[in-house]
Structure 1
Amino acid sequence: MYLSVILDLCDKRPVAYANSDRNDNSLVLTTFEKAIKRNPKASPILHSDRGCQYTSKEFRKKIVTAGMTRSMSRVAHCIDNGPMEGFWGIMKRKMYYGHQFRTKEELLIMIKGYMICYSTKRVQRNLKIMPPMEYHKMISPQTSARSELE
């Protein structure tokens, strides 16, 4: 199973995520569409790696249509993708390593629980010792970003 996540780098919250049995354009496009649906007025810079899903014409068209800017580091200079790599490392340590999942459904339930916990309970030093959603609400009280991830 493959998991795609989009993080907000300002408040470190997962904006959207999707899973699939295949690591293809559809997985990335689904995640992107969920992020747009939750944050229709956002026009951020979207940082990604140089994976074929992010360099595809279809993804580029979605970025342009949404009024966003795409950002990719040069080859062998992955600084833009560092926060995402950090997120994956924390997620693996907290919920994956040392666990055995008997079914795909069991894994999906664990992922959903982790995303909610990460967003609403896991305090972060660089967010004034607040969890991402609490920090987000403090800095953007007028936004209507949904706190629950689907």
Structure 2
Amino acid sequence: MYSYEARIRAAELYIKLGKRVRPTIRQLGYPTKSSLKGWYNEYQRKLDLPMGYAGREPKFSQAQKAAAVEHYLTHDQCIGVSSFSVQ
């Protein structure tokens, strides 16, 4: 994870170098091509970058997590095992 200052520096250098990925990465020593393009796109949209890591939405809700734990404690196995029938 890169600091706010490092991401801003990369986005501004990318613009200064004519939106050329390789020279930007070569000069800075970071980031990856996709990270640089993502930072640039975010910078163009908002004229700034977020200060911290935004994260992502959780994959499962608290209710789904609670149901999975309850099932495991009740059946002593994961849901996937009980859903298959052996023939």
Shorter-chain TM-score bucket reads: under 0.3
Identify the structure with the greater strand proportion: 1
Q: TM-score, normalised by structure 2?
A: 0.26
> Larger radius of gyration, structure 1 or 2?
2
Identify the structure with the greater helix proportion: 2
